[in-house]
Amino acid sequence: MINLTLRQLRYFEALARHGHFGQAAAACSVSQPALSVQIKDMEEILGAPLFERGTRQARLTGFGEALAPRVREILGAVDELGEMARATRGRLIGRLRIGVIPTVAPYLLPRVIAALTRGYPGIDLHIRETLTETLIDELTGGRIDCAIVALPISESGLTEVALFDEDFMLVRPRADADKPVPDREKLREMRLLLLEEGHCFRDQALSFCNIRSALSRDGLDGSSLTTLVQMVGAGIGVTLIPEMAVAVETRSADVAVSAFTEVRPSRTIGMIWRKTSPLAAQLAELATVVRAAGTGAARETRPGSAPGPRGPGGAG
């Protein structure tokens, strides 16, 4: 009989995912030697090597690749047992793992966390901030319970719940504050600063301007909205940011913020979770909390402007 432990399976899954002993150990909150010992013990129990060890990375062997999906299934089933136990309590209580995209997390999470800790004192929040593609992978793999993203996602195994809409705001140097707000055709001719590849907000901005990503110019990408706004303040160009980010990102920058007066670019923020999750009822309750927080954040930061038709939102 093969006696593998859940700890060994979790360490194996982390190392298979990261391909690096140090990163896997950090993800499991253990020392690298402790993780290495457990992987070595697992290989001895199974009688075959699981990883090819290099100086910079650890690659799965053929046997390791065959084992990896089975291990993920086992760990997913074990996690679902815990979810079933939490579901029987009927309320949001215990560990809750929430993923959030970077263009939402800094602006929405403070409100959400405050509301949850106030209304659900038994909750133990674990927050994961990363890109949409990674969140979907971690959600389907059972490593998080739900995610707050821009919709639509269109994954057959996931439930999508729309929470609120928000407009994109134009950020330009303060010296341009009195100039007319450009329409999207004129915006295409301007020096438009964008988030780097992988951010869904980048794709949404390009879609509004009808620009193909391949046509964007080198040197005009940033890793965060903060970087983009500061670049605008330095006179390098203009950018778009979601309205909930306005108060945080523009308070220390020499910029002007304007709403589009004709077709307005926008996005829909929503929550997603696995359709098979035993926590579906509790996650639907969480969605109401997030919706209230997001609606309040957008309302407080929205500059006064004449309403116009909304432009296309984006996925991811």
Distance CA 310, CA 308 (A): 6
Distance CA 33, CA 25 (A): 9
Low-confidence winner among 73-87, 145-159, 235-249, 274-288 (lowest mean pLDDT) = 73-87
The share of the chain scoring above pLDDT 90, in percent, equals: 54
The residue-averaged pLDDT of 35-55 equals: 92
Specify the pLDDT at position 60: 93
Give the ranges where 62-131 is alpha helix by DSSP (H). Answer: 62-87, 105-119
The Cβ of residue 152 has, within 10 Å, a number of other Cβ atoms equal to 15
Specify the pLDDT at position 300: 61
**Phi first, then psi: what are they for 112, rounded to 5°?**
-65, -45
The residue-averaged pLDDT of 51-75 equals: 89
Distance CA 77, CA 84 (A): 10
Checking if the pLDDT of 199 tops 70, the result is yes
Specify the pLDDT at position 276: 87
Distance CA 207, CA 212 (A): 8
Distance CA 8, CA 37 (A): 10
What domains are defined for the chain?
6-85 (1.10.10.10), 89-316 (3.40.190.290)
Distance CA 195, CA 186 (A): 20
Specify the pLDDT at position 264: 86
Specify the pLDDT at position 302: 54
Distance CA 123, CA 115 (A): 11
The share of the chain scoring above pLDDT 70, in percent, equals: 86
Q: What is the pTM of this model?
A: 0.74
The residue-averaged pLDDT of 265-294 equals: 92
Distance CA 177, CA 274 (A): 45
Q: Which two tokens stand for residue 215?
A: 């046509």
Q: Which two tokens stand for residue 216?
A: 């964007």
Q: Which two tokens stand for residue 238?
A: 């203009």
**What would the pLDDT profile of 80-139 be if each residue is shown by its tens digit?**
777 666 666 656 678 889 999 999 999 999 999 999 999 888 888 999 999 999 999 889
Residue type, 313: G
Report the SS3 class of residue 54: coil
Low-confidence winner among 27-31, 66-70, 91-95, 120-124 (lowest mean pLDDT) = 91-95
Burial (CB < 10 A; 0-12, 13-18, 19+), residue 175, is exposed
Give the rounded distance of the alpha carbon of 54 from its chain centre.
Answer: 31
Checking if the pLDDT of 216 tops 70, the result is no
Low-confidence winner among 33-42, 73-82, 132-141, 258-267 (lowest mean pLDDT) = 73-82
Checking if the pLDDT of 144 tops 70, the result is yes
Q: Which two tokens stand for residue 145?
A: 């319970």
Angle at 251 between CA 246 and CA 252, to 5 degrees: 135
**C-alpha distances in angstroms, 45 versus 7, 13, 20, 38?**
14, 16, 22, 10
Specify the pLDDT at position 106: 94
Specify the pLDDT at position 154: 85
Q: End-to-end distance of the chain based on CA atoms, in angstroms?
A: 45
Output the CA torsion sign for 204, 208, 209, 215.
positive
Distance CA 245, CA 229 (A): 11
